């Protein structure tokens, strides 16, 4: 059973369109991170959110942490071909093995020119 469920699993859109990727769990996270991974490379951190309801913006990317710290979303405005990649959410749970970083199932985004 995946601790973090991402949706959609695959997303193919045209350049200029907007999109939202979701990351959901039944567990409460002390922090949640979003990564982007390109083929042949390791995941690269985009953002970390730690406070329920927190919203962070990184150029055309907007990240939101749910009020209950169980879910998060990534919204991309006016997507560009350079945004193509595998987007991963990862969280550290609030109890137990807090140092463990658990990844979601990933969303493969393709932005067509």
Q: How far is the CB of 39 from another protein (least distance, A)?
A: 10
Reading phi first (left if > 0) and then psi (alpha if -120 to 50, else beta), residue 59 is in: left
The CB-of-113 to another protein minimum distance in angstroms stands at 22
Shorter beta-carbon distance to another protein: residue 98 or 112: 98
24: Cα within 13 Å, side-chain hemisphere = 6
Residue 65 CA from chain centroid, whole number = 10
Quote the CA–CA distance of 84 and 73 in Å, as a whole number: 17
List residues near another protein by CB under 8 A. Answer: 4, 6, 31, 40-45, 48, 86, 88, 90, 92, 97-106, 108
Residue closer to another protein (CB basis): 101 or 112: 101
Q: Minimum CB separation from another protein for residue 96, in Å?
A: 10
């Amino acid at each position: 059973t995946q601790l973090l469920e991402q949706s959609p699993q695959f997303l193919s859109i045209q350049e200029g369109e907007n999109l939202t990727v979701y990351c959901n769990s039944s567990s409460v996270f002390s922090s949640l991170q979003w990564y982007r991974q390109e083929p042949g490379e390791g995941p690269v951190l985009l953002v970390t959110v730690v406070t329920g309801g927190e919203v962070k913006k990184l150029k055309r990317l907007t990240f939101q942490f749910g009020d209950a710290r169980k879910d998060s979303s990534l919204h991309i405005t006016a997507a560009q071909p350079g945004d193509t990649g595998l987007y991963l959410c990862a969280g550290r749970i609030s109890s137990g093995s807090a140092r463990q970083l658990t990844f979601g199932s990933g969303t493969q985004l393709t932005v067509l020119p």
